[in-house]
Amino acid sequence: MAIEFIVKYPLLSVILLSLLMTFITTIIYKYTTDQTKLKSYREELKNIKKQMNESKQDLSKLNDLQKRSMEISMDQLKHSLKPMIITFVPAILIFALIKDSLPITQVILNMPFDIPKMGDNEGFGWFGVYLVTSFAFSSLLRKFLKVY
């Protein structure tokens, strides 16, 4: 039944699956990470970037700031690994479902202009639509749900 719906309504199916996956991923990310810590990392990185812009002439200070920035980024990555691992299996299953239902070369969203390096320059296939919509949904859901 799901495969029939995907084949019959490919664009709508990919958009809905993208919204569903992004929502699930965002919720898992929110509740499996320390949001307070991630928010403080984000603020600290913002301050470091500002300091780096102000101290372009002082290479020693710039180097120290870059090291600190890398340390924070590594800590952020460590906090993000758990939700990435949890969401990996469902993502693979959904991609497999779409891949089995729609050919990768099938254009499901025609564009009024050429898209370089995208197949026949006619538009987006399912993966292109998924990427674009998941970025948009992720940005909106993270703001709405206050996920850092």
DSSP assignment letter at 117:
T
pLDDT at residue 148, as a whole number = 83
Residue 110 φ then ψ, to 5°: -75, 145
Tens of pLDDT, residues 23-74? 999 999 999 999 999 999 999 999 999 998 888 788 888 889 999 999 999 9
pTM value surpassing 0.95? no
Domain limits for position 65: 2-144
Number of domains in the chain: 1
